[in-house]
Amino acid sequence: MDRAEIFDLLIEIKENYPSFDVSEENVDRHMKYLHDFPFEVAQQNLQEHVRTGKWPPNIAEIRGQMGEQIERDRMRALTETYFAEREAAALNACPPPPGWKDGLIERLRHRK
C-alpha cells in the first residue's frame, strides 16, 4: 500500500469517526504497519468495521485475518529456507579426522 492509499483509508475513517486522529504522525504510523498490505483488502476490512464497529478501527482491525495469513506465509517461507539450508549443510558435513577427539581430550587434560 502506498501513502496515497493510506490517506484514502484515513479519510474514510475520519468521515465515519470524526474524532479520529489524521495527524502526520498517525499517517506515518499507519504507513509503517500497512505498507506491505493490499489496499483492497484493507478497504474491505474498514468497510466491514464501519458497519459493525462503534470505535475507529486500529491497525490490526484494518489488517484483519488477512494480515495473520500474510504473516503465517512469511514465517512458513523463512522456515522452509532454514530447513533447506540445514539439509545442504548436512550433505556437506563430514566427521572429524581420525584421532581429533582423542587429541582434543588430551590437550584439555594437560591444561589443568
Model pLDDT for residues 28-37, shown as the tens digit of each residue = 999 999 999 9
Non-local CB neighbours of 20 within 8 Å, separated by 6+ positions: 10, 13, 14, 56
46 closest CA partner among 82, 5, 95: 5
pTM: 0.58
Number of domains composing the chain: 1
- Across the chain, mean pLDDT equals 91
Whichever domain contains 10, its CATH number is 1.10.8.200
Domain of 44, in residue numbers: 3-111
For the packed helices 59-92 and 39-52, what is the interaxial angle rounded to 10 degrees?
140
Share of the chain above pLDDT 70, in %: 98
- Measure the CA–CA gap between 62 and 58, rounded to whole angstroms: 6
The span from the CA of 38 to the CA of 62, in Å, is: 11
Given a cut of 90, whether residue 73 has pLDDT beyond it is no
pLDDT at 112: 63
Q: Examine the pLDDT at 41 and tell me if it is beyond 80.
A: yes
